[in-house]
Amino acid sequence: MPHPNFDPRTLLLAIAATLFAGCATQPPAPVADPDAAAIASVFFAERARTGLARGYWRTERASWGANCVSGWDVGEMGQALVPALRRELSDGELRQAHDFLATPTGQRYAQRAMYRAPRAPATPEEAVDLRKFSETAAGRKLMDTGAALRMGEALSAAYADKLEACRQQHASFVASNSPSRMSPPAPVRKATDLSCTAPQPTYPREAIRGEQTGSVTVRFWLNPQGIVYMTLVVKSSNVPSLDAAAEKAIQSVQCQPFLANGHAITVTAEQSMRFDLR
């Protein structure tokens, strides 16, 4: 029998409070592997690929490593990096990154980072959104240089078999010296063979102050969308700031897709630049 002072509204409020508290404390669902792969693709795949290409060039002075990694699929690289990404970021930080990429700014950032759209400057609104994200726990980790290096190592380990296959194929081609036994590597074209805007390098101030000059040759890879997605200094000026300026200039060129038999394909080309104070 109910207590004489019993008020049903009190019980209903208590039940509602309990249910609300249970919902409020329930953690969000973990980011699924496909979404984690998308995060890895956006923030690390291209950076890791470029790092590997430069590492092979520095240590072996051979182009086979760069040519090998240039053909890897960005989405597949992202999938291979999921375990390493989960070691870098907590579930909550992965959720932050996932939610950022779901925004209009995040989607445009992803398009540029994965070289599916020209790298146009961010709008003022996008710049504010990017700054805010970079100040979050996820943003700090995803933009960290050390994290990018570790992800590059993880990609190298995950693709060890592919890299070894490329190495053996290159060695076999050199040993055979016979195009009839194995297809030769794709040719490195001149930049004049492509329809691209002329690079506009900026002479670094420190190089001007030091009266430093030199020539730089940059090899670059153009995807079927006509976007430069990887660059490599293959002939250095021996002045780091000049090399960096030349590479940045190539990364900023706008190109038309390169057509072969009517189909847009990935192509490799080289561009030389001279820095002279005259």
Instruction: Quick: pLDDT tens for 262-276.
Output: 999 999 999 999 999
In the β-sheet with 214-222, what is the strand arrangement from edge to edge? 188-190, 267-275, 214-222, 228-235
Question: pLDDT band at residue 17, thresholds of 50, 70 and 90?
Answer: low
- pLDDT at residue number 178: 55
Cα 151 to chain centroid distance, Å, stands at 11
Cβ(114)–Cβ(42) below 8 Å: yes
- Sorted by where each starts, the structural domains of the chain and their CATH numbers stand as 33-161 (no CATH), 188-275 (3.30.2420.10)
| Token pair for 136 | 């979050």
Residue 13 has pLDDT above 80, yes or no: no
pLDDT reported for residue 36:
97
Does residue 187 have a pLDDT over 80? yes
Instruction: Report d(CA 111, CA 114) in Å as an integer.
Output: 5
Comparing 11-20, 75-84, 147-156, the range with the smallest average pLDDT is: 11-20
Report which residue type is found at 233.
Answer: V
68-77, 116-125, 192-201 — which is least confidently predicted?
116-125
